[in-house]
Structures are given as structure tokens and as C-alpha cells.
A and B are shown apart, each in its own frame.
Chain A
């Protein structure tokens, strides 16, 4: 295969950046989820469900 070094650099950096960003998002999400009270954690929760969840 010709130009293998260029290909590995281009593909490697692209996939590597994607993977690193994905890991960073997951870890950041976990840390923030732990910091926010349960009742305010869910952005898609209706008011009623929020109250129920906070109660449990």
C-alpha cells in the first residue's frame, strides 16, 4: 500500500480525536450528573415526574 504513513496519520488522528472526545463527554456527564440534585437532573422530565422522582 502506498502513502501508508499519511493514511495512518490522517485516519489515526481522526478516529483518535473522536474517541477521546467521546470519553471526555461520558466522564464529564458522569461528574455533572453526580453534582446536580436528582430532581433537577433530567431535562426531559415533566414537572409531575420531577416531583415524583425527587420524592423517591
Chain B
């Protein structure tokens, strides 16, 4: 299948995501890039992520000040909040991809939705884990079933795991994509509920109200948090590019295998006809 039949946006995203234009690629570059899902752009991005992680560790553990109340436990904010931010980003990307699949029937958008959902599960799991670990020294508990934000985030994680299970179950490619798109959109309904839960159910949560912009955080803490979000976002982009390309290769492989099966079936049918004719 050519890129043109994959659906709208393939060419633009392909060149954008890869960071290279095929038209200007040398033969050597093509051979190099064809062997993996990486490219010069993703390698640079990966290097940026590694440098960013080192900077984040240095800032988070040695530069940012401890909190008066939480003391050093506050340093969990630098991994917890970016994970939550990327959970939202991944799920929104899945929702957009799902809408586009239902609207345009574009395989490109379907793969984007699937790729983002996989990362959404990882980031959502990390959000819950880091939140629980942070909650023990701060709230004296790992988990509280009465906390609306915790429970709605868990529901989101379960829905996204269901999304991936639906994908893994197999079946007709288009039907699976459509069902998954519906689940992806249903899961996205959870986002505003999770986000606003601390305001709507203020007496049923251990979480504080949104406080990132109210000026209570130290400047260096806020800066380190910003670095954490940027590093996690760069990782998200890097992983999205690779995961998208994997999804595309899987789609191509399925086409190749289908084509081979058809050729074999035709060959068997012609051999059968020739045998009947000879009798």
C-alpha cells in the first residue's frame, strides 16, 4: 500500500514526524532509515530526552528546595505532574485520532489513536503509582477510595486498558478501529471530570485545588516542574513517532501476508482446475 491510500495527512505527518524529507534523502540515508523505525530526527530527539532527564534529576534532587511542610517528598511533583499532563495529552490525541477515524476512515489517524492510547496507559499508570507513593508520606495513605480524583483516574486507566484489549482481540481491521474509536471517545469524557473533580467535589478529595499558577510554588520548584513537563513531552513525541511507525509497519505486514495468502489460494485454485480439466 502506498502512503497515498493510507488516508489524509500521511505525507505531511510522515515528513514532519521523521524530521526528514524523503525527496531530499540520499540512498545511504534511505537504507539506514529503512532498517529501523528511527531517523536522524528521532535520534536527535532521543539525545535531547537523555540530556533533559539528567538535567531533571540534577534540578529535582539537588537544586530545587525542599518544602516547609512536605520536606523532600515534594520532589515527587517533578515526575507526578508531568505524568498526569502527558496522560491528558495522550488521551486527547487518542480522542482526536478516534474522531478523525470515524469521520475520514483514515488509517493514519487510526494508528495515531492507537499509539497515543498505548502511551496513555503507561503515563496514567505512572500517574497513579507516583501519586500513591507521594500520598503515603503526605496524606499517610497510599490510596483512598473516597477520593474522586483517584477513582476517576483509575477508571480512566481501566478504560484505556480495555481499549488496548479490544485492539489486541483482533478481527476485521476496520470494525476493530471503529469499536476502539468509540471506547477512546468514551474514555475522553473522563478527562474534564478528573481535571475538575477537585473543584466539583472539594470535600471528597485529598488533593488540593489547582495551585500551579497561584504563586505558592518557589520559583526554582516551578522551573524544575516546567523542565519535567518539557522532558516528558519530548519523550512522548519521540515515542509517538516510533510507535506510529511500528503501527504502520504492522499494517503493511498484514497487507503483505494477506496478499501472499491470496496468491497461494489462487495458485491452488488454478492447480485444481487444471487437474479437473485433465480428468
Contacts and interface: CB of A to CB of B under 8 A. Distances in A.
Interface of A: 1-4, 6-7, 9-11, 13-15, 17-18, 21-22, 25-26, 28-30, 32-38, 40-47, 49-50, 53, 56
Given A46-B3, A56-B27, A40 B76 contact: no
Interface string B26-54: 01001001111110000000100000010
Interface stretch (B185-193, B242-250, B267-275): B242-250
Interface residues of B, number: 59
A44 B29 CA distance: 14
A21 B130 contact: no
Interface in B237-279: 238-239, 242-243, 245-246, 248-250, 252-253, 255-256
A3 B133 CA distance: 10
A9 B1 CA distance: 46
A22 to B, nearest CB: 7
Contacts, number: 146
Interface of B: 1-4, 6, 10-11, 13-15, 17-18, 22-23, 27, 30, 33-38, 46, 53, 57, 60-61, 66, 71-73, 75-76, 79-80, 83, 122, 125-126, 129-130, 133-134, 136-137, 235, 238-239, 242-243, 245-246, 248-250, 252-253, 255-256
Given A10-B134, A25-B239, A25-B243, A47 B249 contact: no
Nearest to A48: B23
Chain A interface, >50% SS class: helix
A22 B61 CA distance: 24
A50 B242 CA distance: 20
A10 B129 contact: yes
A41 B11 contact: no
Contact of B256 (A14, A37, A44, A53): A37
A14 B35 CA distance: 29
A26 to B, nearest CB: 7
B1 A40 contact: yes
7 contacts: A32-B253, A33-B37, A35-B253, A43-B245, A47-B4, A49-B22, A56-B27
Contact of B66 (A2, A11, A18, A49): A2
Contacts of B243: 25
A11 B3 contact: no
A25 B250 CA distance: 13
A3 B137 contact: yes
A7 B76 contact: yes
Contacts of B3: 42-47, 50
